[in-house]
């Protein structure tokens, strides 16, 4: 069976962020404390790959080997990102592992209303393409903030996140191209469903997907992600 060459890079984000301290940054403590919720959100979103992974093991048992090879690398990367954010957060905000674990455990996580996006391998791969492209673009928007913090180590961390998220997008999109572009109406319908869900402005549900209730994200962002995907697959001329 034909397959795709999966892009991936292995690195240790936890080791990279280990022992990062406020003194390594060029911002004062008032500015740093304003960023606590920003970094906590990213820590949680990466951590939440665990529940999505468990869900996919449960519902995707008869999906293709290519999907599972993609998912295995994706999950390895997201947990690596989580460990990086965890070290970063512990070091910059002076909290213990126990405090982080307790706070993570108190969150609500639910797939309610999202099951339809994972009904088939086609829908799941389109959702991964959409979500990972959105994440790539979102982390890219964070470049100015990371630069302001003045730590070369943090900037390298962000660059690697962006590269990995782009790899996740490209890998999922390649699998769609290989297996599902013969069904353009379904692919376009799945893209439209993703865009619509984001435009409806649902709060983040703690399961990795649609971690997009960032403040001040214009609706044009989500429409743009949808358009980019259709263009990426050469589907602009088709009607869903
Ligand atoms: Fe990630
Ligand atoms: Fe990702």
> How sure is the predictor about 96, in pLDDT bands with cuts at 50, 70 and 90?
very high
d(CA 189, CA 33): 42
Give the model confidence (pLDDT) of 71-82 as tens digits. 999 999 999 999
- The dihedral through the CA atoms of 14, 51, 162, 68 has a sign that is positive
CATH number of 13-232: 1.10.620.20
CA 112 to ligand 1 centroid distance, Å: 22
* 172-185 per-position pLDDT tens digit: 999 999 999 999 99
Ligand 1 centre and the CA of 161: distance in Å?
6
How many angstroms does the Cα of residue 77 sit away from the middle of ligand 1? Answer: 7
Residue 23 CA to ligand 1 centre (angstroms): 26
Confidence (pTM): 0.95
Instruction: Identify the CA nearest to 167 among candidates 73, 232, 69, 64.
Output: 73
Q: What percent of the chain has pLDDT over 90?
A: 92
210-239, pLDDT tens digit by residue?
988 666 788 899 999 999 999 999 998 775
Sketch the domain layout of the chain as residue ranges: 13-232
Per-residue pLDDT, 3: 83
Between 48-57, 118-127, 195-204, the lowest mean confidence (pLDDT) is in 195-204
Mean model confidence pLDDT for the chain: 95
133 contacts 174 by C-beta, under 8 angstroms: no
| pLDDT, tens only, 22-48 | 999 999 999 999 999 999 999 999 999
């Amino acid at each position: 069976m034909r397959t795709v060459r999966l892009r991936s890079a292995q690195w240790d984000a936890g080791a990279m962020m280990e022992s990062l301290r406020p003194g390594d940054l060029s911002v004062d403590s008032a500015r740093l404390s304003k960023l606590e919720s920003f970094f906590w959100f990213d820590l949680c979103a990466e951590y939440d790959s665990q529940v999505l992974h468990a869900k996919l093991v449960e519902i995707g048992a008869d999906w293709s080997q290519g999907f599972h090879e993609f998912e295995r690398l994706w999950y390895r990367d997201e947990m690596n990102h989580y460990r990086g954010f965890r070290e970063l957060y512990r070091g910059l905000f002076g909290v213990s592992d126990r405090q982080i674990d307790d706070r993570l455990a108190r969150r609500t996580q639910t797939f309610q209303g999202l099951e339809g996006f994972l009904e088939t391998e086609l829908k799941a791969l389109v959702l991964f393409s959409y979500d990972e492209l959105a994440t790539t673009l979102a982390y890219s928007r964070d470049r100015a903030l990371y630069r302001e913090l003045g730590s070369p180590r943090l900037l390298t961390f962000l660059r690697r996140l962006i590269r990995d998220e782009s790899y996740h997008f490209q890998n999922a999109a390649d699998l769609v191209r290989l297996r599902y572009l013969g069904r353009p109406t379904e692919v376009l319908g799945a893209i439209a469903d993703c865009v619509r869900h984001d435009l409806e402005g649902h709060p983040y549900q703690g399961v990795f997907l649609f971690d997009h209730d960032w403040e001040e994200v214009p609706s044009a962002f989500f429409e743009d992600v949808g358009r980019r995907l259709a263009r990426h697959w050469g589907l602009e001329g088709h009607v869903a």
